[in-house]
Amino acid sequence: MTSAPRPDRRPEAEPPDVPGFDTWRAVYLFVFGWFVLIVVLLTVFTAMFA
């Protein structure tokens, strides 16, 4: 029988405590997605106006 994993008490394990985000990985993915969205919007902007 294996013991249940102990909760990680390192500071890195500190949750982001941001509504909708349980882990830092999710926060980073959101920021990366935001960056991709901005590049897409700027590309559309360029196609529309340049």
- Alpha-carbon distance of 5 to 44, in angstroms, equals 48
Nearer to another protein, 22 or 34 (CB): 34
Least separation in angstroms between residue 15's CB and another protein is 8
Residue numbers at the binding site for another protein (CB under 8 A): 10-12, 14-18, 24, 27-28, 31-32, 34-35, 38-39, 42-43, 45-46, 48-50
Alpha helical stretches, state H, 1-50: 24-49
Min CB(5)–another protein separation in Å = 20
Please give the Cα distance from 13 to 6 (Å, whole number).
12
